[in-house]
Structure 1
Amino acid sequence: MTRKALVVGSNFSAIPIVFALKKRGFNITVCGNRLDEPCHDHADSSVDLDYSDEEALLREMESGRYDLLVPTGNDVSFRSCAYVAERLGLPGWDSVEVTRILHEKAAFRRFMRENELPGPRSKAFGPNDSILVGEFAYPLLVKPTDSYSGRGVVTVRDAAQLPAAVAEARKHARNGEIVVEEFIEGQLSSHSAFVRDGKIIYDVFADEYCTVYPYQVDCSHHPSALTERARGAMRAAMGRIVSLLALNDGLLHTQFIWRGDDVWIIEPMRRSPGDLYGHMIDLSLGIGYSDLVVALLLGEAIEIKPRFDPPRLVGRHTVSTKSGKITPLSFTAEIPGAVAQIAPLRVTGKLLSPAPYDKLAILFARFEDFEQMRDVVPDFASYIRLQTMEGEFAW
């Protein structure tokens, strides 16, 4: 009998998950109210539903038409799926409370403090709280507790800038709650940990950069320059989180900052990262990143053995613009010392909003020299020229 999966989310980042399910013979229904997004094209059927409405998603799953609930690469999808899974008693899911701890900045920072895990010092404030940060030294970061893609995050360098930063962060917070934390200087990186039976069985580190919009990652590369001691510190900290929260099998993806051998955990997620992050890892290691995510969700036996050893040197860039809305025609990319491939995301002539709200394409580049990769990847944007319908290059 054909198994049926409800895939919650429909944008391009979910396509590898859809194809991993197709490979296993699933009948796929894609859920989402953006019927122009690409996953609907690959589904056996679609449901036009706003999956941020947890009760509506619950009713759809209660219909009995599906054997499997599958989240995709955004926090709203994962949190709504966790709610439905808890209400229906679906196996293999973390509780709603654990999901909240891992996906809300204020809850996660509180969990970090209580368990003496390495991270920036921080303080949470409700929608009506007075902002008192006398114990912190400037600069500070002010963040909405539940936003994504860096929206509403502001760096504050002195007390005079604080009120405007708080207003901006609250504007992007669904519940008005914000977090103020110390600003940590260092290299931003990510850690993808595949969890099985309460242990991290395999992990991947990549270095990341925010170059077009200050708090949205748009460049990254694998492998990372992370020191072995810092890798060990990160693995130990994330292993403790897996144990303390009794996490179920699946992916635990985390952004962190490192300097020398020290690490500071910024934020984790149980969902797949977006912007075809897994494709970068596959180009570098050949592990079948999204296939592993699906295998863990299904409780399949897995063996992780990279096809490329040593790893290939691969960078990734999300092509976007700082300008206002423009009408892109084409772009050129001349990446020094690299062979590039491009995943287009837009139809020619369709309006493009500035970062962090829109993306034109995702570029992957393979290098032969590690130092050149480290030099070029943070500067990817300077090697791209964007031609608009108005006949000008825009950046």
Structure 2
Amino acid sequence: MKHRLLILGTLGEFVQLVQKACEKGYYTIVCDGYPDGPARAFADEAFQIPVTDTEQIACLCREKEIDGILTSFSDLLLECMVKIADRAGIPCYLKPEQLPWYRDKSATRALLIELGLPTPGFRKIPIAYFKDRSKRTQLKELLEGLRYPVVSKPLDKYGSRGIYISEDLEELINGAEKTAGFSDMPEILVEEYNDGYEFNMMTWVRHGKVHVISIADREKTFVAKGEIPISTRNVYPSRLLSKVEKPATELLQAYADRTGQKDGALSMQFFWKPGEGIQVCEIAARFFGYEHELTDMVYGFNMEELLLASLYEPDKLKKMLAEHDVHKPQCCGAVIYFQGRLLTIGDQSAAVRLGEKEQVEKPWIFYQEGEKVIEHGPNPYLALYYVKTENRKEMDLLTEEFYEKMHILDPNGQEVAYHNQIPDYTPAEK
């Protein structure tokens, strides 16, 4: 009998997954709330239902006799998939009761502390304490022991939304009120800010064992006081792989052991400083969006094949993981991101020319001329470029050229794109 697969998500990142599923002969249905999602064009059937309407999608799964469900690249999509699978009786690598360890920042921090694993000092504080001046003494007591600078974060949002850096209590009070505007919860998270080198790590758990797929340098650029630095380049493999691979893998293995995750995607953003070791930023049970393509480019390891094999081809899954070696890249690969000011797009010709360079595997310009840049809208960046070179030295030279020549102007000639910078790795490599 032909497998019947539901893929939760229709935006550009899901096109290859849908195409591969159809090529394998699976009857493929896609679903989310976006009417114009490009993956819809490649599926056997497509439905427009908001992913948060898990009960309706579960009913759809039962009606269509779905025997497998997949998604990735988004924490919200993961959460909805787990709930849909549970309600529809479809196999899934997580159960709803495990979600807080991957979706609730305070639950993640509490579990890390319970396991004795490195995490920033944090407090979960009611928003009322920041708004009511009569509670200042109590607020100071709640914050006692935290080292400034700190960041304020919503407990229920991801994608760097509503996160602000504060150097002292007064800045924190202002930042916390802005954070509260992004949250639907009565509390926010306040945690110590780590300015160390940052990394993205993607792994797969099979039969309870963590298999490392990739570790990348997650580079950022400072934009403005109080704002967290913006993501500007992720490079594979990490320049500091030998220093972070072992402790990061051990940490994720301990985490998966405790949460009971036996199979499925497991990713982590973490920090590392010379002499201080690693410290967790976020842990997620899915792959990173706008980045998983680099494992294919750098290692010949295709994430879509992995996801589909995890459902229907267990022997292939075992073989893929056994043959993959994170220490043997075929090249150096990176995704270069450009973010920008909330202005109207005018001239993008320089951005288009950069996309025509021979080292660019895929350019992705998100806005059309005449459109206004929207904060936290459907377009996550102004533009991104997947680029490939023989080694890291060539990658850095190419990146510097991108940073120098990238310009997106508004109709008045004002620069829309932020200017990116490559961090200094000298202290880490001593």
> What is the SS of the residue equivalent to 2:143?
coil
CA drift of 1:169 comes to 1.3
Q: Which residue of 1 aligns with 2:81?
A: 81
Say if 1:42 and 1:95 are closer, same or farther in 2 by CA, change over 3 A.
same
1:223 to 237, 249, 255: 237
Deviations, residues 125-155 of structure 1 (Å, cap 9, x unaligned) = 2454564312112100111112122110000
Say if 1:324 and 1:72 are closer, same or farther in 2 by CA, change over 3 A.
same
1:161 to 171, 176, 183: 171
- Aligned pairs for 1:355-394 (under 5 A) are 356-357=376-377, 358=379, 359-374=381-396, 377=399, 380-388=402-410, 394=416
CA distance in 2, matches of 1:44, 1:323: 38
Residues 82 and 95 in structure 1, CA contact (< 8 A), matched pair in contact too: yes
> What is the SS of the residue equivalent to 1:168?
helix
CA drift of 1:3 comes to 2.0
CA distance in 2, matches of 1:136, 1:391: 44
> What is the SS of the residue equivalent to 2:110?
helix
Which residue identity lines up with residue 53 of structure 2 in the other structure? D
CA distance in 2, matches of 1:250, 1:354: 33
Say if 1:218 and 1:103 are closer, same or farther in 2 by CA, change over 3 A.
farther
Larger deviation: 151-160 or 171-180?
171-180
> What is the SS of the residue equivalent to 1:21?
helix
> What is the SS of the residue equivalent to 2:359?
strand
> What is the SS of the residue equivalent to 1:58?
helix
Q: Which residue of 1 aligns with 2:97?
A: 97
Say if 1:377 and 1:141 are closer, same or farther in 2 by CA, change over 3 A.
farther
CA distance in 2, matches of 1:251, 1:295: 13
CA drift of 1:163 comes to 1.4
Larger deviation: 4-13 or 189-198?
4-13
Deviations, residues 296-353 of structure 1 (Å, cap 9, x unaligned) = 2445222233599443111111333224243554433559x98223333546336141
Larger deviation: 239-248 or 314-323?
314-323
2:251 to 230, 234, 237: 237
CA drift of 1:98 comes to 1.4
CA drift of 1:20 comes to 3.0
- Aligned pairs for 1:1-395 (under 5 A) are 1-128=1-128, 131=139, 132-211=142-221, 214=228, 216-260=230-274, 262-275=277-290, 277-298=291-312, 300-301=314-315, 302=317, 303-304=319-320, 305=323, 309-327=328-346, 329-332=348-351, 334=354, 339-346=359-366, 348-349=368-369, 351-354=371-374, 356-357=376-377, 358=379, 359-374=381-396, 377=399, 380-388=402-410, 394-395=416-417
Which residue identity lines up with residue 235 of structure 1 in the other structure? T
Larger deviation: 154-163 or 94-103?
94-103
Larger deviation: 150-159 or 254-263?
254-263
CA drift of 1:207 comes to 0.6
CA distance in 1, matches of 2:368, 2:9: 24
CA distance in 2, matches of 1:306, 1:384: 35
> What is the SS of the residue equivalent to 1:77?
helix
Larger deviation: 279-288 or 293-302?
293-302
CA drift of 1:290 comes to 2.4
Residues 237 and 329 in structure 2, CA contact (< 8 A), matched pair in contact too: no
Deviations, residues 354-395 of structure 1 (Å, cap 9, x unaligned) = 555333432022233424535765895443122556666532
> What is the SS of the residue equivalent to 1:385?
coil
> What is the SS of the residue equivalent to 1:214?
coil
TM-score, with structure 1 as normaliser: 0.90
The alignment-based identity, stated in percent, is 20
CA distance in 1, matches of 2:401, 2:88: 47
> What is the SS of the residue equivalent to 2:185?
coil
Deviations, residues 85-134 of structure 1 (Å, cap 9, x unaligned) = 22334324212121221122111111111111111111112454564312
CA drift of 1:37 comes to 1.9
CA distance in 1, matches of 2:370, 2:40: 20
Which residue identity lines up with residue 363 of structure 1 in the other structure? Y
CA distance in 2, matches of 1:376, 1:149: 27
> What is the SS of the residue equivalent to 2:191?
strand
CA distance in 1, matches of 2:408, 2:269: 30
> What is the SS of the residue equivalent to 1:315?
strand
> What is the SS of the residue equivalent to 1:316?
strand
CA drift of 1:186 comes to 0.8
Residues 316 and 365 in structure 1, CA contact (< 8 A), matched pair in contact too: yes
Q: How many residues align?
A: 393
Deviations, residues 64-94 of structure 1 (Å, cap 9, x unaligned) = 4422222232111110111122233432421
TM-score, with structure 2 as normaliser: 0.83
Larger fraction in helix: 2
CA distance in 1, matches of 2:110, 2:405: 41
Residues 340 and 363 in structure 1, CA contact (< 8 A), matched pair in contact too: yes
Which residue identity lines up with residue 245 of structure 2 in the other structure? R
Deviations, residues 46-75 of structure 1 (Å, cap 9, x unaligned) = 111111122232232232442222223211
Deviations, residues 6-42 of structure 1 (Å, cap 9, x unaligned) = 1111111222322332232112221112111211122
Residues 338 and 368 in structure 1, CA contact (< 8 A), matched pair in contact too: no
Residues 153 and 215 in structure 1, CA contact (< 8 A), matched pair in contact too: no
Gaps of 5+ in 2: 131-138, 418-430
> What is the SS of the residue equivalent to 1:79?
helix
CA drift of 1:234 comes to 0.5
CA distance in 2, matches of 1:23, 1:267: 35
Which residue identity lines up with residue 44 of structure 2 in the other structure? D
Residues 230 and 260 in structure 1, CA contact (< 8 A), matched pair in contact too: no
Structure with the greater alpha carbon radius of gyration: 2
CA drift of 1:248 comes to 3.0
Which residue identity lines up with residue 52 of structure 2 in the other structure? S
Say if 1:347 and 1:173 are closer, same or farther in 2 by CA, change over 3 A.
closer
